[in-house]
Structure 1
Amino acid sequence: MKKFFVILVCKTIRLIGRLTGRGSSLPGQIALKLDPDILSKIKMPPYIVAVTGSNGKTSTVELIARILKDAGKSFAYNKEGSNQIEGVTTLILEHCTFSGKVKPEIILIESDERFAKYTFRYFSPTHYIITNLYRDQLTRNGHPEWVAHAIEESIRPETQLVLNADDPLVSKFGLGRDNTVYFGADRLPQSTDSCTSLYNDGKYCPNCKQPLEYAFYHYNHIGKFHCPSCGLRSCPTAYTVTSADLDESSVVINEKYRLRLAFSSFYMMYNTLAAFAAASLLGVAPESIVRSISDYTLQNGRIVRFAIGRHPGVLLASKHENSVSYDQSLRAAVAGGRPKTVIIIVDAVSRKYFTSDVSWLWDIDFELLKSENVQRIVLAGLYCNDLATRFDYTEIPQEKITVISDIGEAVSWLAENAVGEILAVTCFSDKGKFLSHVQPQKEAKP
C-alpha cells in the first residue's frame, strides 16, 4: 500500500506540475521523502540507458530519443533535463503502473555526473554512455579527476559501458572490464599534432600520473593517446567517425554511414556518434539511425537561431565555468570564413548558486577570435568589464571590441553596427535575457 500511495502522489503532483508549467523535480523529491527506497521497489524495464559527462548529455539523449521514436520503440526519457535523483524518480514513477512496474521497454536517463552515484544506488543501467570530462563549474565540481571519481562510484559490474575512447579520463573507466564499447574519431583535417588549448588536462595519465603521449589532438585533451608507463591508451572503437568535412557539416561513421550535422562542430559530431552507438546497441538499424538524425535540429535550446534587424544570428548556449564549451562555440565563429559579429554575455555566473568567481574566463581561448572574418566583438552583461580585462591580454585589435553592460543596449548597438551574421555566446542563465530582445527565427520541423 505504501508503494501504491507514493506512486499515486508522484503521478498526481506531476500532473499538476504539467498543467501549471512547473518543473519535474518536485514530484520525485516528495516521493523520496515519503519513501527514500522507492526506486529499489520498482520493477525496471529490460533496457535502462543512462548518459552522463561534463558536456553533451542533453543533446545526446535528445538524439537517442529521436532515433527510438522513429524506430517505433517504447521508451520514456527526462525531456526537461532534470538529471539528479529527484528528476529521475519523477520519470520512473510517472511511467510505471500503480503496482510498481515500468511500462515502456526503454528508460532513457540523462544523469548529472556528480550525482549519478546516488541515482544508481537503487538500480543499474544496462547501457551507460559517458561522453567526456572537462573543467566544469570549478566552485561546485573541483577538477575533472574529482568528478571522474564520483562517476566511478556509479558504475556497476553488470552495466555495459559505452565510452569516449578519445578522452583519457573517460577511457580509463574501461580498464579491466570486458563489457565495454568505445566510440571515437580517426584523424580529421581539423586535428592537430599538439594541444592548441590554453591548458592541457590530458598532459598526465589519469591512471599512473606519468606523461601521456598523443598521436594527434581533436581539441583540448580529446584525441588519440597512449601512456608509455602503464599502457592506458585510446582503445579500438566499434563506432568511429572515419572521415568528416566539418566545413560542410558532413561526417562518415564506420566508413559507410554518411550523415549531415545540423550544426557543424566537434561537439555535435561526438554527440551524434554517441547516439549512433547507443541506438545501434539497442538494435536500431544504422540506416534508420542516419535517416532519423541527419540534419536533425536539436529542440533543447542549446542552438537557437534569431535575427536582429537584417542580420541573421545563432545563439550557442555555452556553459559558464566550462572553458571547453566556450572554446567550441568560438571555433564556430571563425569557421567558414564568412564575416561575423560575436557577442559574449556574462550576466550571471550560474542559475543555481551565487558566485562572482570569473577565473574560468582565463581558461577560455578567446584568442581564437583574432580572425579576419570576426569583424566586431561585443562584450555584455554584469561581468562585461571582467571580459574586457581578459580581452586586454589577447592580441585582438581594441577597435574591434565594444563593451556594453546592458544587454538590451547591446542588442540595439548590434542592430546598427553588426557586420554579417551574429554569433551570440552565453550560458543558460543568460540566454533568455538576450533572446527577449531579438526576433526568433522559426526552424524547420524536425
Structure 2
Amino acid sequence: MKLALAILLCKAIRFVGKLVGKGSSLPGQIALKFCPDALGRVKLPPYVVAVTGSNGKTSTVEMIAAVLRSAGKDVVYNAEGSNQIEGVTTLILTHCTLGGRMRGDVLLLESDERYARYSFKWFHPTHFVITNLYRDQLTRNGHPEWVYDAILPALHQDTTLVLNADDPLVSCFARGHEKVRWFGLEAWDGATAEHHGVYDDGAICPVCKEKMEYTLYHYNHIGHYRCPSCGHCRHTPDFAATGLDLKEGVLELDGDTRLALSFRSIYNVYNILAAWSLCRLCGVDKAVIARVLGSYILKNGRMVTFTLGKHHGTLLTSKHENSVAYDTNLRYIRDWEQPCTVVVMVDAISRKYFTGETSWLWDIDFDLLDAPHVERVVLCGKYVNDLALRFAFSRISREKIACYPSIPDAIQALERNGEEEIFVVTCFSDRDKLLDKVKREN
C-alpha cells in the first residue's frame, strides 16, 4: 500500500509539474520521503541500462534509445536529463502500475557519475556503459580519480560492464569484475604517436603510478597504452571502430559495417561506438543500428545550426570546466579549413551552481585556432577578461581577437560585418543567450 501511494503521489505531482513546465526531480524527491525504498520494491524491465562518464552520456543515451525503438523495443529513458536519484525515481514511478510493475522493455538511464551509487542502491543495471573519465567541473568533481572512486560502489557483480578500452582509468573498472565487454577505436590516419594537449592525464599508470607508454593517441589521453611496470594495458575491443575517415565522414564498425557520420568529430565516433556496443549486446541487428546511427541527428542541442545576417553559423556546445570537450570542438573547427570566425562565450560558468573559478581555461588548447582559415576570434561574456588573458598566452595573432563584455553587442557586431562561417563554442549555461538572437535552422 505504501508503494502504491508513493507511485500515485509521484504521478500526480509529475502531472502538475508538466502543466507548468517543471517537475522532473521534485516528484521523485517527495515519493522517496514517503517511501524511501520505493526503487527496491518495483518490478523493472528485463533490460536496465545505465550510462555514465564525464562526457557523452546524453548523446549516447539518445542514440541508444533511437536504435532500440527502431528495433521495436519499448524504451523508457530520462530524456530531460534528470540523472540523479530524484529524477531517476520520478522516471521509474511515473511509468509504473500501482502494483509496482514498470512498463516497457528497456529502462535506459543517464546517470550522474557522482551520484550513481545512490541511484543504484536499491537495484542494479543489467548493463552499465562507462564512456570516459576526464577533468570535469573542478569545483564539484576534483580529479578524475575521485570520480572513479565515486562510481565504483555503483557497480554490481551481476552487471555487464561496457567499458571504453581506450581510456586507461575507465579500464580499471574491470579489475575483479567478471562480466566486461570492451569498445575501442583501432589505428586510423588521425591518430598520433605523440601526445597533444596542455596536460597529459595518461602519463602515469592509474594502477601502479609508474610511467605509462602509448603506441598511439586518438585524442588527449585516449589511445592505445600499456604500463611496462604492472602490465595494465588496453584490452582488445569486443566492439571496434575498425576504419575511420573524418574528412570523408565515414566510420567502419567491426570490420563489416559502414555508416556516414552526420557530425565529423572524434567525440561523435566514441558516442556512436558506445551506442553500437550496447545495442549489439541487446540483440539488435547490425543493419538496423547502422541505418539509425548513420542518419541520426542529435536532438539534445549539442550542435545547432543558425543564420545571423549573411553568416551561416554552428553552435558547438562545450561544457565549461571541461577542457577535453572544448579541445574536441576546437579540433573540429581546425579541420574545417574554410574561412570562419570563432566565438568563445563564457558568461555563466555553470547552470547548477555559482562559481567564478576559471582556471580550467588554461587547460584548453586554444592554439588549435592558430590556423589561416580562422579569420577572427570573438571573445565575449562576463568572463571576457579571463578569456582575453588566456588568449594573450596563445599563438593567435592579437589582430584577430576582439573582446565584448556584452554578448548582445558581440552578436550585433557579427551581424553587421562579413558573411563567413561562424562557429560558437560555449556551454548549456550560455547557449540560449546566442540562440535567442539568431534564426535557428532545421
TM-score (norm 2): 0.99
Q: Which residue of 2 aligns with 1:174?
A: 174
The yes-or-no answer on 1:66 pairing with 2:66 is: yes
- In the other structure, the counterpart of 2:6 is 6
Cα distance in 2, alignment partners of residues 419 and 239 from structure 1: 43
Q: Match for 2:125: what amino acid?
A: P
Alignment of 1:58-137 (within 5 A): 58-137=58-137
Partner of 1:195: 195
CA distance in 2, matches of 1:193, 1:106: 41
Output the CA distance in 2 between the equivalents of 1:176 and 1:93.
Answer: 33
Residues in 2 aligned to 1:182 and 1:333: alpha-carbon distance in whole angstroms: 30
Deviation at 1:19, TM superposition (A): 2.1
Q: Deviations over 1:381-419 (max 9, x none)?
A: 000111000000011101100001111111111112345
- 8 Å contact 2:310–2:419 — kept in the other structure? no
**Uncovered stretches (5+) of structure 1, i.e. residues with no partner:** none
Corresponding residue for 2:317? Answer: 317
Q: How does 1:163-312 map to 2 (within 5 A)?
A: 163-312=163-312
Q: Is the 8 A contact 1:376 1:418 kept in 2?
A: no
SS at match of 2:291: helix
Could you tell me whether the CA contact under 8 Å between 1:341 and 1:376 is conserved in 2?
yes
The answer as to whether partners of 1:339 and 1:419 remain within 8 angstroms in 2 is no
Whether the 8 Å contact between 2:53 and 2:130 is mirrored in structure 1 is yes
Q: Which residue of 2 aligns with 1:43?
A: 43
Secondary structure, counterpart of 2:232 in structure 1: coil
For the Cα contact (< 8 Å) 1:376–1:419, is it kept in 2?
no
Alpha-carbon deviation of 1:250? 1.3
Of 336-345 and 127-136, the range deviating more from structure 2: 336-345
Instruction: Name the SS for the 2:169 alignment partner.
Output: helix
Aligned to 1:19: 19
Q: Quote the offset at 1:314 in angstroms.
A: 0.7
Out of 409-418 and 122-131, give the one that drifted further. 409-418
* 8 Å CA contact retained: 1:45, 1:102: yes
Deviations for 1:421-441, whole angstroms, at most 9, x for unmatched residues? 110000010011111111111
SS of the residue corresponding to residue 104 of structure 1 reads: coil
State the Cα RMSD in Å: 0.9
The answer on whether the counterparts of 2:312 and 2:419 sit within 8 Å (CA) in structure 1 is: no
| Contact 1:305/1:440, CA 8 A, preserved across alignment | yes
Q: Which runs of 5+ in 2 are unaligned?
A: none
Q: Distance in 1 between matches of 2:79 and 2:255?
A: 32
Partner of 2:154: 154
Shift of 1:37: 1.1
- The DSSP-based 3-state class of the residue aligned with 2:193 is coil
Describe the superposition over 1:273-322 as per-residue Cα deviations: whole angstroms up to 9, x where unpaired: 10000111011001000011112110011111111112111101100000
* CA distance in structure 2 between the aligned counterparts of 1:187 and 1:219, rounded to whole angstroms: 12
1:428 — aligned with what? Answer: 428
Q: What is the percent sequence identity of the aligned residues?
A: 53
Cα deviation for residue 187 of structure 1 reads 1.2
Structure 1 segments of 4+ aligned residues over 3 angstroms from their partners: none
Amino acid at match of 1:109: L
Residues 228-276 of structure 1: CA deviation (Å, up to 9, x unaligned): 1111111010111111111122110011111112111111000001000
Give the count of matched residue pairs.
Answer: 442
CA contact (8 A) 1:343 1:378 kept: yes
